[in-house]
Amino acid sequence: MKKWLLLWLAGGTLCQAMAQRDGTLPKDTLATVGTSVITARDFLERFELMPWPGKDRRQDHDSAKVRALRSLVAERLLAQEAAVRGIGRDSLARRRVSGLEQVMVRDELFKREVVARVQITDKEMSVGMKRYPRELRLLYLRSPSRETALALRDSVGRKGVLDSLLHRISRRLLTRVDTLTLAYGSADWVLEDTAYALSERRRLSGVLQSDLYGWGVAAFLSDHIYAEAANKSIPDRLRAVQNIVRTRQQLRRARLYSGSVLSPQRAEADAEMFERMASVLHAIMTASQQERASRAGFRLGAADLDTLEQRLGTDADRILVNVAGGDLTARDVIEEMRFHDFSFSRLEPEPFRDRLNAIIKDMVAAKLLAREGYRLRLNNTEAVRHDVSVWEDHWSASALIGEMQEEVHVTDEEVMTYLVEHAREFGRAYEVNIREVLADSLTTVLHALERANSGEAFDGVARELSRREAWRLRGGESGFFRVDSLPELGVAALWTDSGAYGGPLRLREGYSVFQVLDKRLARQDSVPPPDSIKDVSRRIVRAVRQQEVLRQAVGKLAQRTGVRIFEDRLKALQVNPSNMVTRRFIGFGGVITAVPSIYPLWQWESTEPADQVP
């Protein structure tokens, strides 16, 4: 069996970086919830970084802000109540919070050891400003090794860089020719440094090893103005170059720092457990290749990780990686994988396992860097505690909401009442055809129903007993009528299965029993089929009742806890109108949703007005 080793050398771990958001958010209190507060920073963080209705329309900002703040107050109240009840404190919830904390500790380590130590020099800015306006066209002549690349350089140097001559070069030396367009800030620094040193006079580079293309030689073709840079003002160019230089410095420092932490470490995957995990995950990925295919390869999603963990069963708690300072189980590695985006370029068994081995190696590296952060007690810093508490409160509140909603049940009578009340909104989309007996007394219609159930033809019963004249002459048949034209009867018919008997109903005209002959859509519309309206409406009514239960619960919690909202401060707060999902890139690799979305729950009462500062 192949032995999978996870080893590091100094500077050998690729890290992702993101410049951290600068500036201090305002800390004015916008609301108090018992003894806790919601500050302008808390509000802006949640409101600006995720979508919210009305945020993208400036004329709606005031009402959108009020609704969002009231919803945040509701979340805080529910999170506090969840803590009292012990909800959201099970092993699964604790593991989720622990995994998030490790990510935040690693990010804080990155900010302190990498971001804070970046120093941009005048020389770097000068080089960047010279390169930024220029875009280069190159040929990259690939070669299989350094030795063959040297021979290729000599051969091309003697013959001249001309397309017509390249085909004469031995395939042993030249394996491929790529035509490239290169701009300042590319991912391949080695190639970029080499390319910008070329010119009309010096058209051929020395031998280099490109990060993207391997060993080879670069050949200059042309140099022209970079349109994106040309259209920018000098200050905008300066900012663009500064961002490129800063990002590159962060990447360099991240490599050096992570290398210093990881180089003394040695980790080895348990071969049997690795094969078990690889086999299960490979089966999951190959079961739906077409659905997961993308330009980046075959994507690994959160649902795949859930399935992997489920299928591993108790094996998920077996040791996958042996490493000093604490071995890692398969579940530990899977939890870390949830904070990253992955894809597999190929799904053949051997390349798949090689890629999975590389992924696990990166996950172990992330865990070890988090351990370094814990060693430095970064888990106790204000930034980490804040980031973790935002998500923990959201998760706890969501768990309580889920529990409350699960307890809500609705009866058939409640659903029918809702449908009748809203018949004018949806009923025009449906038509029903029934056979009915309408009478003045309940006894009469029950007798009619008993005769039909005994096998007597219902049309004959209707002709004899029904008093709805036009229908009675047709054996009680109504012909198709729109549900909203006779809401009580139409809704009841729509509710009843085709061919079945419904009623008795008490209508303004008397008592009714009926048989459903047919149902149909009155017009082509994006509405549920007639026979599914029962299930759809039940879900709608239950959702309405769930929201009502939540509103009442939050109102009682607000009254008991004490809530104050400073709407004058909120109104003065300026917000960014952008309405999009924002992602946060984590130092040393990984990405998460920037903040939790705000659950819309603003229609509750029992707040104490606090328009003026006390």
Residue 553 belongs to a domain? no
Dist CA 438 CA 295 (whole Å)? 65
Among 145-154, 162-171, 479-488, 509-518, the minimum mean pLDDT is found in: 162-171
Distance, first Cα to last Cα, the chain:
72
Distance CA 48, CA 55 (A): 8
Instruction: State pLDDT tens for residues 131-163.
Output: 999 999 999 999 999 999 999 998 887 765 555
Q: CATH number for the domain including 168?
A: 3.10.50.40
Give per-residue pLDDT as tens, 82-119: 999 999 888 889 999 999 999 999 999 999 999 999 99
Q: Is residue 127 part of a domain?
A: no
One domain for residues 261 and 116: yes
Same domain, 4 and 106: yes
* C-alpha span between 326 and 372 (Å, rounded): 13
386 close to 119: Cβ distance less than 8 angstroms: no
Q: What pLDDT was estimated at residue 22?
A: 40
Cα dist from 499 to 211, 504, 521, 576, whole Å? 71, 16, 17, 57
Residue 72 lies in a domain: yes
SS3 400: helix
Residue 26 DSSP one-character state: P
DSSP category for residue 180: E
Rounded CA-CA distance 193/189 in Å is: 6
Cis bond before residue 504 (omega within 30° of 0): yes
398 shares its domain with 423: no
Distance CA(173)–CA(165), nearest Å, equals 14
Examine the fold and report which residue of 538, 571, 600 is the final residue of a domain before the chain moves on: 538
Which tens digit of pLDDT belongs to each residue from 174-205?
999 999 999 999 989 999 999 999 998 899 99
pLDDT band at 15 (very low <50, low <70, confident <90, very high): very low
Q: Tell whether 230 is covered by a domain.
A: no
Crossing angle for the helix pair 302-312 and 271-286, nearest 10 degrees?
Answer: 130
Same domain, residue pair 375 and 422: no
CA distance 361 to 280: 18
The encoded tokens of residue 148 equal 């063959």
The pLDDT confidence band at residue 606, using thresholds 50, 70 and 90, is: low
In which domain, by residue range, is 187 found?
Answer: 134-225
Distance CA 468, CA 486 (A): 13
- For residue 534, what pLDDT is reported? 83
The answer as to whether 545 is a domain residue is no
Same domain? For 475 and 579 the reply is: no
- 534 and 475 belong to one structural domain: yes
Same domain assignment for residues 21 and 110: yes
- Whether 399 and 273 map to the same domain: the answer is yes
Q: Is residue 360 part of a domain?
A: yes
Cα 583 to Cα 562: distance, rounded to the nearest angstrom: 34
Residues 416 and 399 in one domain: no
Quick check: is 530 in a domain? yes
Same domain, yes or no: 369 and 319: yes
Calpha distance 584→269 (Å, rounded) = 30
- Mean pLDDT calculated for residue range 480-495: 93
pLDDT tens-digit readout, 308-362: 999 999 999 999 999 988 999 999 999 999 999 999 999 999 999 999 999 999 9
Model pLDDT, residue 533: 82
| Mean pLDDT of all residues in 54-76 | 93
Residues whose CB is less than 8 angstroms from the CB of residue 486 and which lie 6 or more positions away in sequence, other chains included: none
Last residue of a domain, one of 478, 505, 538: 538
Please report the pLDDT score of residue 165 as a whole number: 67
Within-domain flag for 320: yes
What is the rounded average pLDDT for all residues in the chain?
90
Q: Give residue 579's region: left, alpha or beta (phi > 0; psi -120 to 50).
A: beta
Of 506, 538, 570, the domain-final residue = 538
Question: Does 138 lie in the same domain as 69?
Answer: no
**Cα atoms found within 13 Å of the Cα of residue 246, Cβ hemisphere only:** 13
Domains contained in the chain, number: 3
What's 562-600 look like in SS3? CEEECHHHHHHCCCCCCCCCCEEECCCCCEEECCCCCCC
Q: What is the per-residue pLDDT for 170?
A: 83
Using the Cα atoms of residue 101, residue 102, residue 105 and residue 107 in order, give the sign of their dihedral.
Answer: negative
The pLDDT tens digits for 238-249 are: 999 999 999 999
- Residue 16 pLDDT: 34
259 and 367, same domain (yes or no): yes
